[in-house]
């Protein structure tokens, strides 16, 4: 039984469920729009101020949406005790983690694209010229967010105070990712080349790698606990 085939079927199952229920995507879309309105009201009409705050707002919005979406990853497994069924499946449980991570990555990437588009429209910022370097930063940031979010989503899905516990666990661990992505996004929006922020990108890549490996190695214990 191949590891990849099991990871793929988890991805297929969750995407199919999401396509039919549209629970997460709809909620995240409206949440993103609401956030933009809130930012607009909080910062006022000053374009310069908005543009300066844009990288921080973008990633704050992204992480807040992530808190909403990633925490729900394993809720579908609570229905009819499917969690138990997953636990009883033979083989490396890392495949389940990888499948769930892929779903979360796709979900968060979709939210990022929507947020980015809305930011461009709302704040009248021209993002076309920096789309390619922005995509690199977003991919690196999303992997970091999704890999930790998937693991903590599994850890907290079986506890009563999960809505409280999930952000408490996730946010401190996300500091390196948030720092790296905001700085890199800021530089990219100022028109700098990616090579100028290579140190931030290296930090992001290292954080991604560490989170991913820790997630793969510890997921089985989280599932069994």
Partner 1 sequence: MTQQAPPPAGQRVIDIQGIRKAFGANAVLEEVDLSLEAGEVLALLGPNGAGKTTLVKILATLLRPSSGGGRVTGFDLLKEPERIRRQVGILAHGSYVYEDLTAQENLRFWATMAGLPADAGALQKALAAVDLESVAGERARTFSSGMKRRLALARILLGAPRLLLLDEPYAGLDQRGKKWLEEVLLDFRGKGGAVLMATHSFGRGLSIADRVAILAGGRIVLNRPRASLDLEELHRLYALATEDGG
Instruction: Read off the tokens for 222.
Output: 């989280």
Is residue 17 close enough to count as binding partner 1 by CB under 8 A?
Answer: yes
* Shorter beta-carbon distance to partner 1: residue 21 or 190: 21
Under the binding rule (CB under 8 A), the answer on residue 159 touching partner 1 is: no
In whole angstroms, the minimum distance from the beta carbon of 80 to partner 1 comes to 5
What the block records as the tokens of 205 is 């890549």
Q: Could you tell me the smallest distance in angstroms from the CB atom of residue 224 to partner 1?
A: 9
Q: How far is the CB of 218 from partner 1 (least distance, A)?
A: 17
- Please, what is the minimum distance in Å from the beta carbon of residue 9 to partner 1? 4
Q: Of 20 and 160, which CB lies nearer to partner 1 in the complex structure?
A: 20
Nearest approach, Cβ of 216 to partner 1 (angstroms)? 17
Q: Are the beta carbons of 177 and 204 closer than 8 angstroms?
A: yes
> Which parts of 22-174 fold into alpha helices (H)?
23-43, 47-70, 82-88, 94-122, 131-156, 162-173
Cβ proximity of 127 and 34 under 8 Å: no
Does residue 5 bind partner 1 (CB under 8 A)?
Answer: yes
- 50 or 223, CB closer to partner 1? 223
Quickly tell me which residue has 């990853």 as its tokens. Answer: 73
Site string for partner 1, 91-130 (x = CB under 8 A): x---------------------------------------
Residues of span 68-97 touching partner 1 by CB under 8 A: 76, 79-82, 84-91
Tell me if 20 contacts partner 1 by CB under 8 A: yes
Q: Do 155 and 222 meet the contact criterion of CB atoms below 8 Å apart?
A: yes
**CB of 91: closest distance to partner 1 in angstroms?**
7
Closest by Cα among 102, 107, 105 to 24: 107
CA angle 90, 11, 216 (to 5 degrees): 55
- Residue with structure tokens 């401190």? 172
Among 9, 121, 171, 193, binds partner 1 (CB under 8 A): 9
Between the alpha carbon of residue 135 and those of residues 13, 127, 130, the distances in Å are 27, 11, 9
- The reply to whether 160 sits near partner 1 by the rule CB under 8 A is no
Q: Toward partner 1, which CB reaches closer, 6 or 183? A: 6
What size, in residues, is the chain? 225
Kindly compute the dihedral angle of the four CA atoms of residues 200, 205, 211, 212, in this order, to the nearest 10 degrees. Answer: 160
Residues that bind partner 1 (CB under 8 A): 1, 5-6, 9-10, 12-13, 16-17, 20-21, 76, 79-82, 84-91
């Amino acid at each position: 039984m191949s590891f990849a085939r099991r990871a793929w079927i988890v991805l297929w199952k969750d995407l199919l469920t999401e396509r039919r229920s549209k629970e997460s995507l709809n909620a995240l879309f409206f949440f993103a729009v609401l956030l933009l309105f809130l930012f607009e009201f909080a910062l006022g009409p000053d374009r310069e101020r908005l543009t300066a705050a844009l990288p921080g707002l973008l990633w704050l919005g992204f992480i807040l949406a992530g808190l909403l979406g990633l925490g729900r990853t394993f809720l579908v497994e609570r229905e009819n005790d499917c969690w138990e069924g997953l636990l009883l499946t033979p083989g490396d449980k890392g495949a389940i983690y990888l499948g769930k991570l892929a779903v979360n990555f796709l979900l968060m990437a979709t939210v990022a694209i929507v947020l980015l588009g809305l930011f461009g429209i709302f704040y009248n910022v021209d993002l076309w010229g920096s789309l390619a370097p922005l995509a690199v930063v977003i991919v690196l940031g999303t992997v970091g967010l999704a890999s930790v979010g998937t693991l903590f989503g599994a850890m907290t899905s079986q506890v009563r105070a999960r809505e409280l516990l999930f952000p408490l666990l996730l946010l401190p661990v996300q500091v390196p990712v948030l720092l790296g992505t905001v700085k890199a996004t800021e530089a990219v929006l100022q028109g700098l080349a990616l090579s100028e922020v290579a140190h931030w990108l290296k930090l992001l890549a290292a954080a991604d790698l560490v989170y991913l490996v820790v997630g793969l190695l510890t997921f089985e214990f989280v599932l069994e606990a």
